[in-house]
Amino acid sequence: MHLLVKGIKHPLTGEVLVPNSKYHAHRALILASLADGESRVHGLSDARHVEYTVQLLRGLGVKITRDGDTFVVHGLGGRYKPRRAAVSAGSSGTTLYFMIGLASLSDRDVAVTGQKYFRRRPVGPLLRALEQMGVGVESADDCPPIQVTGRRPAGGHVTIAGTLSQWISGLILLAPFATGHTTIEVQGELNERTYLELTVAMMRQFGLEVTVSDDWRRFDIEPNQEAHPVELTLPPDIGSAAFGVAAAALHPSDVLLRGITSLEGGPADHPEFHFLDIARAMGVPMEVDESAGGVRIQQDRPMLKGVDIDCRDVPDMLPILSTLGTFAYGESVFRNIAHTRLKESDRAAAMLQLNAMGGELELTSDTLRVRGVGGLVGAKLSSFNDHRVLMSLAIASSRASGHSTLTYPNAYRISYPTFLDAMNTLGVPMSVEEGAGAVGKAKPRRLEREVAKPELAAGVTLPEWLRRRAEARPHDTAVVDVRSDHDEIVTWGELAERVERTAALLLDLGVKPGENVAYQLPNRVEFVVLSLAALRVGAVCCPVIPFFREREVGFVLRRSKARVLVVADEYRARRPADEVIGLSDEDRAAVEHVLVLSATGGPAVLPDAGTTGLTVRDFDAALAATEVDRAALDAVVPTPDMTAQLLFTSGTTGEPKGVTQPTGNLVRAASMEIKHLGLGARDAIWVPSPLAHQTGFLYGMVLATVLGVPQIVQSDWDAGRALQSLNQHGATFVQAATPFLSDLVKAVEESGETPRNLRIFVATGAQVPRGLAERAGRLLGADVCGAFGTTETCLGALSAPGDEPGERWGSDGRALDGIELRITDDAGRVLPAGEEGNFELHSPTVFSGYLDRPDLTAEVFTEDGWYRTGDLATIDASGFLRITGRVKDVVNRGGEKIPVAEVEQLLFGHPAVEDVAIVAMPDERLGERACAFVVFRDGATLEFGEMQRYLDEHQVAKQYWPERLEPVDALPRNPIGKVQKFELRAQARGLRPHDAL
């Protein structure tokens, strides 16, 4: 993979939010961990290096949580309690240098290590200084891992080279907790003094005293000090803002860098603040725009001039200053740069790549000279996995003719995760692409030409997609079945064999093309096998949501007339197979064969069929006894126009409706998403959503099969286990309801582990709360994309990673290629952009119709053939959709639409209930929960628990139960007697579920 940057000639416009300072964040988190009590650090830094500090501190026993945009740190009073024998600094030099010595404050020995390549980072001078302070440290080669003895240092007279300020800061941070007085003297050249000033300033905020000489070369620190908890706010990060400044400086621009409210400051405000002075000296026209809350750069023609700079106080700025110097008149001289060559890479040498683009840079051991040139040409460049080199060369490439590619394209996430978003927002096109840059790796597998061409893809059936995979790559992973105690991995060859055997079993049971096969299974490999097997014999997949109980299952069986039903012997605390036997004769009138799948892997626990006349068999035993009749299988040739799927809606306005979809629609929908998002052969699809739901079935199982990549399924939702499996199996993409996103973010916050490969999270079912989307982007390192879809239409709208962040997750997406969206008034007139009205769409993936209900099918289509979604929405001038409400009163609980009318009717039947209305109650995690407003009969009452027991007795799925019961004297009604639910929804905004009280 590589970062593709296209040279531009147009002006840059727009605004970007400057992230919070990672330098302050490192120090604040570490000092808060040393305090005795709770500290609150406002303004989260989304830099991955800061996350490494958080993870390492958690490994030392420090509780760090997030409350909105605030770090909440429960300090241990200068005594760490390691949870394990080793803690990792990841790839953060700051974390490593600060924490080697501080690890000695642990109550047992601990090793400090880092990522694989980071274990070559030399720290010998720091180790010698720590030994002078009385810290026990051991290393085989003066590089990580370093074994640190768990005892407080004795203090003493310590000398350290002034090469890197982080070494000195690490000593200063530790010294107050020594048992004796500490004097630290800096020898040789002192670099990065501003960073030391920041360290001391923040220590004083936490009540720690440090005496500093005028020349900042001697530090005297008294022993046995105690840090006090504080509340502080992180300032904006000048190091990240520098790239926005540089981009605006190189092009005609009107750019606002929001968050920087002053151009006057000092080291205590930010150690790199001097960069702003340098940029102004070079001619960058920066002015504070108080009304907009930021610094504005506005110019018609860039006019930069060369400068002569001592880099000792701005060491991290050398790469971006080199870029600015390349386009300045005259010569820029950057002196005292030797220590910058000891960073993540030799940064001075790395920037010499500008010469290959037409630049003029000359490097000596301690000076870099840059002569301005008129222009550059695109080139293939290396970032050396250095975030600042990557971003600086990318900015330079924006002024080159043609395009440039850079290796290690995701390195920017280390310090500035929103860099790509920021540059694209301003008008600098940058994107991560497949191709050159994967040095030493095998050439990526190419996709078949049909995969990302929906019209062609729709002509290939799912069994044919499976056959292709099994023949071309039989040993590659097809399905990962994540269990609580192990993972089952199934290859394409194994999957194809199991599908053929299961298809043969279905033929033995008399299943004919076009017949519905029902199955109620959790997310297990058997679900995938059974679905593809049904399609292999031309049958229709009729999956049933696992949490459905007798009431819902009976309805599905009655309407589908399925003769074959597959269920689990146990699901959570229930026994679905027993429940089927207990159904009425009417509900299971068509059922002849019940196959029972064991939940544990052993023989299935079979229910007593009694006098039902049902044939009940162990699913696995039936498979083992099946002989594959190849001639019989080959005689069945499914076609793309055959019905492939029967899914029952949640019955939002009455009884559930059976939605039928042909194979061609499902494959086309998957291909449309692949094309829209740029999914490729290196992706892996995580499927936390129920496979029995359209989201999991289509955008999990079908998508992975068409794309030919692994699908990772998990039967019992556990966010911690999911996070572990995401990393173990390299998941890159997921489409799921908002609660899964919320739970995953919470798991990352609690564990400190982050998804290492996840790129895209498409959130469906309910719009993602803004705060959650922003937090998810920071913590997961993935692009959160909004979307709209229904069982009847598949996805109609979807945003993409390249969209501006506010549009990407703040909208419900834009039309996929081949789909049309419109907003109409009640008379059917199309409304202009921005006006709210009835949302309708026209798509080649609209369903065939509702099972046996042509009347209901006709109702959802306009006279000119557009599908009525039943939602209110707006579409802006850029084509982004925003759902604003629902025409019908629906409660959308984390993507599951609650059949309000049905539950209301049941509650009406309770003897204590005179009147009832159920409306949505806003919920941060699920989007909405149901609140029942109840008017009691004279003298009667109904407690919340009684209501739950009543619905349980009527076999209503728990997910459909109201989660609050609110007594009222009367329901608000209009003059003709209709309940005014908008008034009830307004009342419900301030309410919470009963279990949260």
- 231-233 β-sheet, strand order: 63-67, 70-76, 36-42, 231-233
Going by C-alpha positions, the residue among 327, 471, 487 that lies closest to residue 395 is 327
Task: Spell out the residues 6+ positions from residue 719 whose beta carbon is closer than 8 angstroms to its own.
Answer: 743, 744, 746, 747
In which element (H, E) is residue 249 found? helix 238-250
Residues β-bridged to residue 519: 543, 566
**Under a CB-based contact definition with an 8 Å cutoff, are residues 544 and 556 in contact?**
yes
> Nearest-5° angle of CA 81, CA 83, CA 84?
120
Cα gap 928→898, rounded to integer Å? 10
Phi and psi dihedrals of 516, rounded to 5? -85, 130
Is residue 316 annotated as part of the catalytic site, yes or no?
A: yes
CA 165 from centre of chain: 35
Residue 27 counted as an annotated binding residue: yes
Going by C-alpha positions, the residue among 44, 157, 42 that lies closest to residue 779 is 44
Among candidate residues 46, 313, 316, 683, the one labeled active-site is 316
Q: Please give the single-letter amino acid code of residue 799.
A: S
Residue 316 counted as an annotated binding residue: yes
Residue 759 counted as an annotated binding residue: no
Cα gap 475→148, rounded to integer Å? 45
Q: What is the residue whose two structure tokens read 């939605």?
A: 659
**Under a CB-based contact definition with an 8 Å cutoff, are residues 175 and 208 in contact?**
no
Going by C-alpha positions, the residue among 151, 148, 171 that lies closest to residue 159 is 171
Q: With b meaning 16 or more CB within 10 Å and e meaning fewer, what string describes 745-775?
A: bbbbbbebbbbebbbbbbbbbbbbbeebbbb
Q: How many CB atoms lie within 10 A of CB 709?
A: 24
- Span between the terminal Cα atoms of the chain, in Å: 50
**Under a CB-based contact definition with an 8 Å cutoff, are residues 791 and 649 in contact?**
yes
The β-bridge relationship of strands 211-212 and 218-221 is antiparallel
Cα gap 982→782, rounded to integer Å? 36
Q: What is the residue whose two structure tokens read 């469906």?
A: 764
Cα gap 679→890, rounded to integer Å? 33
What angle, rounded to 10 degrees, do the helices at 93-102 and 165-174 form?
Answer: 30
What is the DSSP code string of 545-577?
Answer: -TT--HHHHHHHHHHH--SEEEEES-BTTB-HH
Cα gap 453→461, rounded to integer Å? 14
Cα gap 847→843, rounded to integer Å? 9
Task: Spell out the residues 6+ positions from residue 184 whose beta carbon is closer than 8 angstroms to its own.
Answer: 129, 158, 159, 160, 168, 171, 172, 175, 218, 219, 221
| Cα-based torsion angle of the residue sequence 894, 899, 905, 909 in order, rounded to the nearest 10 degrees | -50
Cis ω on the peptide bond leading into residue 656 (within 30° of 0)?
Answer: no
Residue 312 counted as an annotated binding residue: no
Residue 588 counted as an annotated binding residue: no
Task: Spell out the residues 6+ positions from residue 946 whose beta carbon is closer than 8 angstroms to its own.
Answer: none
Going by C-alpha positions, the residue among 729, 741, 805, 750 that lies closest to residue 772 is 741
Q: Could you give the C-alpha distances from 299 to 13, 304, 375, 832, in angstroms and in order?
A: 11, 12, 19, 35
Start-end of H helices in 398-447: 419-426
- Quote the longest CA-to-CA distance of the chain: 97
Residue 93 counted as an annotated binding residue: yes
Going by C-alpha positions, the residue among 549, 546, 555 that lies closest to residue 519 is 546
In which element (H, E) is residue 37 found? strand 36-42
Which residues are known catalytic residues? 316
In the annotated binding site for 3-phosphoshikimate, the residues are 22, 27, 165-166, 316, 343
